[in-house]
A and B are shown apart, each in its own frame.
Chain A
Amino acid sequence: MSTNRHPIEQEELMAYLDGELSADQATEALSHLELCPECQTLAADFRGVSQELLAWEVESPEVGISSELNAALGERLQKRQAAKVTSSRLENRVITSRWVWAGALAIVCVVVGLKLTLTSHNRSEDRSTAYPSMASIEQYLMPDRDAEIALARSAAPEAISSDAKILVLGWRGYETADEGKNGFVCMVERSWMSPFNSADFWNPKVRVPQCFNPAAARSILPLTFKRTEMVLAGLSKAQMIDSIKAGFDNKELPRPEPGAMCYMMSRAGYLNDALGHYVPHLMFYFPLTDKSSWGADLRDSPVTLNPQFRDGPEPITEFVIAVGKWSDGTAAPAM
Chain B
Amino acid sequence: MGKATGFLEFEREEIQKLPVGERLKTYREFELPIVQEQLVRQGARCMDCGIPFCNTGCPLGNLIPDFNDHAYRSDIEAAITSLHSTNNFPEVTGRVCPAPCEAACVLGINAPAVSIKLIEHSIADRALEAGLVKPQPSLSRTGKRVAVIGGGPAGLAAAQQLARVGHDVTVFEKSDRAGGLMVYGIPDFKLDKSLIAWRVEQMQAEGVTFRTNCEVGKDIDYSTLKSDFDAVCVAIGSKVPRDLTVPGRELSGIHFAMDFLEQQNRRVAGQAIPEHVSLTATRKKVLVIGGGDTGSDCIGTSNRQGASSVTNIEIMPKPPETRDSSTPWPQWPLMLRTSSSHDEGCARDFAVLTESFSGSDGQVERAHCVRVELKDGKFEKVAGSEFTIEAGLVLLALGFVYPQPEGLLEQLGATRNARGNLVVDGSFQTSVPGVFAAGDCQRGQSLVVWAIADGRKAARAIDTYLMGRTELR
Indicate whether A and B interact: no
